[in-house]
Amino acid sequence: MSQVDVIAIDGPVASGKGSVSSGVAKALDFHVLDSGALYRLTALACMNQCVDLSDAAAAEKVAQSLNPLFKDGKIYLEGKEVTDAIRTEEVGLNASKIAAYPGVRKALFELQRRSAVADGRDMGSVVFPEARLKIFLTASAESRAKRRYNQLKEKGISSNIDDLVSDLKDRDRRDMERSVAPLKPAEGARILDSSGLTLQETIDLVLAWYRESKA
Ligand code: DC
């Protein structure tokens, strides 16, 4: 398989994939594929259409007809801005549920292949196996919960650290144990544990690895 100029960054909930991906993409002038947003959009569309989330075929149909618009940093679904609406814990949890359905993953596959710094759970293993650089970005559950806590606080949403730790462990378990495209480091992926690193240090390390991969 010939290599594509893609950096695939996979990892568990709140490991910093979004911030690292956008920092690296900015430095390289790459486009970002936030694949989690597609699963979140599918979950939100299911919720809006009162689709039973335990009905795999119905969720697949929703994923097949998903037509989101990503424009100027904002996300639209059916003409309505949903940039913040897809970031709630409820939508994240439902995204993790429908992400376990093979039909949903298949429907979203083509949408994902269009793009360059790709962030998700299966970017390096399934969507871009020929990526130039594959990273499995992780951090301890406690430091991920703390980051999520601070993110929510910035948005004026109050939360509880212990609940966040338990929610993200639940979500990790479901993402890791599903039979289709489970969350795990892709073959050839470099493991990046960002627990003790700042965002800029993490971005700089990815950029250094990317330069190394092209040398
Ligand atoms: O990265 P995120 O929290 O926005 O993703 C929401 C859920 O979508 C996550 O719990 C698992 C699922 N997901 C996936 O299965 N595969 C991806 N490539 C991205 C997200």
Q: Kindly report, residue by residue over 132-173, the tens digit of the pLDDT.
A: 999 999 999 999 999 989 988 998 989 999 999 999 999 999
* Cα–Cα dist 53/98, whole Å: 7
pLDDT of residue 12: 92
pLDDT of residue 1: 59
More confidently predicted of 113 and 47:
47
Distance of CA 125 to CAs 7, 11, 189, Å? Answer: 12, 12, 9
20-33 pLDDT tens trace: 999 999 999 888 99
- Listed residue (102, 88, 92) closest to 170, CA to CA: 92
Residue 201 has pLDDT above 90, yes or no: yes
What is the three-state SS of the chain?
CCCEEEEEEECCCCCCHHHHHHHHHHHHCCCEEEHHHHHHHHHHHHHHCCCCCCCHHHHHHHHHCCCCEEECCEEEECCEECCCHHHCHHHHHHHHHHCCCHHHHHHHHHHHHCCCEEEECCHHHHHCCCEEEEEEEECCHHHHHHHHHHHHHHCCCCCCHHHHHHHHHHHHHHHHHCCCCCCCCCCCCEEEECCCCCHHHHHHHHHHHHHHHHC
71-125 pLDDT tens trace: 888 999 999 999 999 999 999 999 999 999 999 999 999 788 866 799 999 999 9
pLDDT of residue 210: 94
Does residue 16 have its Cβ closer than 6 Å to ligand 1? no
Does residue 11 have its Cβ closer than 6 Å to ligand 1? no
pLDDT of residue 6: 92
pLDDT of residue 114: 66
Does residue 39 have its Cβ closer than 6 Å to ligand 1? yes
Nearest CA to ligand 1 atom 6: 36
pLDDT of residue 116: 76
Residue 13 has pLDDT above 80, yes or no: yes
Does residue 36 have its Cβ closer than 6 Å to ligand 1? yes
pLDDT of residue 31: 87
Confidence of residue 181 (pLDDT cuts 50, 70, 90): confident
| Section 194-205 average pLDDT | 95
Q: Over the chain, what is the mean pLDDT?
A: 92
Give the torsion sign (CA, 183, 184, 190, 191): positive
The atom of ligand 1 lying closest to the CA of 99 is: 15
113 Cα to the center of ligand 1, angstroms: 16
215 Cα to the center of ligand 1, angstroms: 32
